[in-house]
Amino acid sequence: MAAANPFWDFSLAVYRRPGVAEACLRLQDEAGVDVNLLLYFCWLATVRAAAMDEAAVRQAVARTEAWREDVVRPLRALRRRMKDGIEGMPSESAEALRAEVKRIELQSERLQQDMLFALSGTGAAGAVPGPAARRRAEENIAKYLEVSGTPRSETVVRDCRAVLEGGVAE
């Protein structure tokens, strides 16, 4: 059983809100955004009242980059390749294997979030939601997009706004 991780719980709740999952998938697939990091910077701003500087953003990116590139992304790619079945494999068997790969992919995302949660330390929790939290979250996400070199297209801005609205209570 995995250890308690309030960041993971936050991410699951945000992801379930209307429009957030679709926005996250577009950001991931079309802009190369690491959604775990995006949610992390939102969580820090809203729950820990943490405003990130460039060095802290770079540290979080560096801390999880190898895991993302070597584990999370290959599992995601494999699962997606299996979506239409595997030539020569009975569809029931292929779908059962794909479901297992999906479970492992989700576990790899959870482990990445565990790394980020450990990085967050034991700072104060219970930040007051509202305009200040939203401003911090916007600034954190803007720094992440800048550090990652993500162009701020109209779609990226719209999708980041959807994640913010799902993650920041006014």
Residue 127 has pLDDT above 70, yes or no: no
Q: In this predicted model, what pLDDT tens digit does every residue of 33-55 receive, in sequence order?
A: 999 999 999 999 888 888 899 99
Q: In this predicted model, what pLDDT tens digit does every residue of 95-108 receive, in sequence order?
A: 999 999 999 999 99
Q: Which of 165, 27, 36, 1 is nearest to 108 (CA)?
A: 36
Domain limits, the chain? 6-167
Residue 58 has pLDDT above 80, yes or no: yes
Q: How far apart (Å, rounded) are the C-alpha atoms in residues 167 and 14?
A: 5
Q: In this predicted model, what pLDDT tens digit does every residue of 139-170 receive, in sequence order?
A: 999 999 999 999 999 999 999 999 988 887 65
Q: How far apart (Å, rounded) are the C-alpha atoms in residues 170 and 165?
A: 9
Full-model pTM? 0.90
